[in-house]
Structure formats: C-alpha cells, structure tokens
Amino acid sequence: MKLRFLFIVIACIAASQQPSAQEIVACSPGNSYWYIPDGSHNYTVNLYGEVLETEHPSVINVEDKALHYLIVAKEPYTVEEDDNTEQDILIRFATKEADHTGKTLGTSIEPMMQIATYDGGPIILLWHFAMPEGKNAEVERQYYANIIIGDNIFGLGSPQFIGMDPQDTQNFLLDTLASLREIPDKKDLCK
C-alpha cells in the first residue's frame, strides 16, 4: 500500500510526539478543515477534495495524496549564541529531522531546502529528500513544508509517489500550509 512508507517516515520523524485528537470538519462536498488540537492551541488547515482519515492519528488522505502533520516546540531549535531568525530555526529543525530519519533508515539523507512565502506571509521552509534506494519502490521523494506559528513549528509532509509531478506535491503542501490558522475552537469553521 502506498501509505506504508509514509507510516515509516512518520515513525522516524514523530516517534517522540504524542499525536493530537485531530478531526475532519466537513463544511460542504470537497471543502473540509483538518482540526488539530494541541494542548492549549487549536490549529486548522483547509482541505479541498475528498478527505479520508487513516488509522494513524496524524495522517489523512486528500484525493490521491497522503498528508501528515507534525507540531513541535521551536525552543529546542534556537541557539543562544547564534542567529535565531525564523529561517535559521526552520533550517536547524529540518536538518535534525533529516539526520534522525537517515539514522533510522540506516542511510544518509541529503535534504534539499528552499525558503518560500505565500502571498507575502511568513517564511515557509519547503524541503525534501530523495527516497534512499531499496527503501520504498513506490515513493520517489518525501516532501515537507514547515512554518513557525507562535512557539511551535508546524509542519505538513507528503510523499511524491512514482509518476507524480513533484511540483504538484510542493504546491499541495504550500497551498494547504498557507491556510493554517490558530483558532479558539472549531464551532465557526464552516461559517
């Protein structure tokens, strides 16, 4: 199954994270929100298309794409004697995540990173790595988009399966992450 690898990557990256009680809030056919409570914060991203939940609490399917979220505190990625711009923090986070994933998979991973903004909004780090040979025949690359929101780093990830256009995967992550909001509760999502 195509999600098999995604679960491996999730286990590698999010092993120490406690998944939140996420929920899909359907507003109309093809228009939903992914409601993600995390302690005292409630996050949501807008989803377009058919959305299906999976057995893993931080993974859903949107049309033909798997989507995974991750929320971590940004504090461990700040360095007292170094620059702590959003870009610096996000790059430190992605570098450590790639190192951890590589160790877990038993190989070296070379992350490719680029900084993006969406309509002049906050900095987004878009990064990916090529699937190491022999690790998954269905996945060509794994993509991530991370942003700082308050004291947290919020991230979305999606695999690029063989035959998929990498630009489609990147656009999917950027468009979805651009809709990220912190909200008091879910009651007014569909208004």
Domain residue extents for the chain: 3-182
Q: Return the pLDDT at 46.
A: 95
Instruction: State pTM to two decimals.
Output: 0.86
Q: Return the pLDDT at 81.
A: 79
Q: Residue 155 pairs with which residues in a beta bridge?
A: 70, 146
Q: Which fold has domain 3-182?
A: Protein Transport Mog1p; Chain A (3.40.1000)
Q: Which two tokens stand for residue 64?
A: 């033909």
Identity (one letter) of the amino acid at 17?
A: Q
Q: What is the pLDDT of residues 16-52, one digit of tens each?
A: 444 456 799 999 999 999 999 998 899 999 999 999 9
150, 73 Cβ separation under 8 angstroms = no
Q: Return the pLDDT at 11.
A: 45
> Which residues of the chain fall short of a pLDDT of 50?
1-19
Q: Return the pLDDT at 67.
A: 96
Mean pLDDT of the residues in the chain: 88
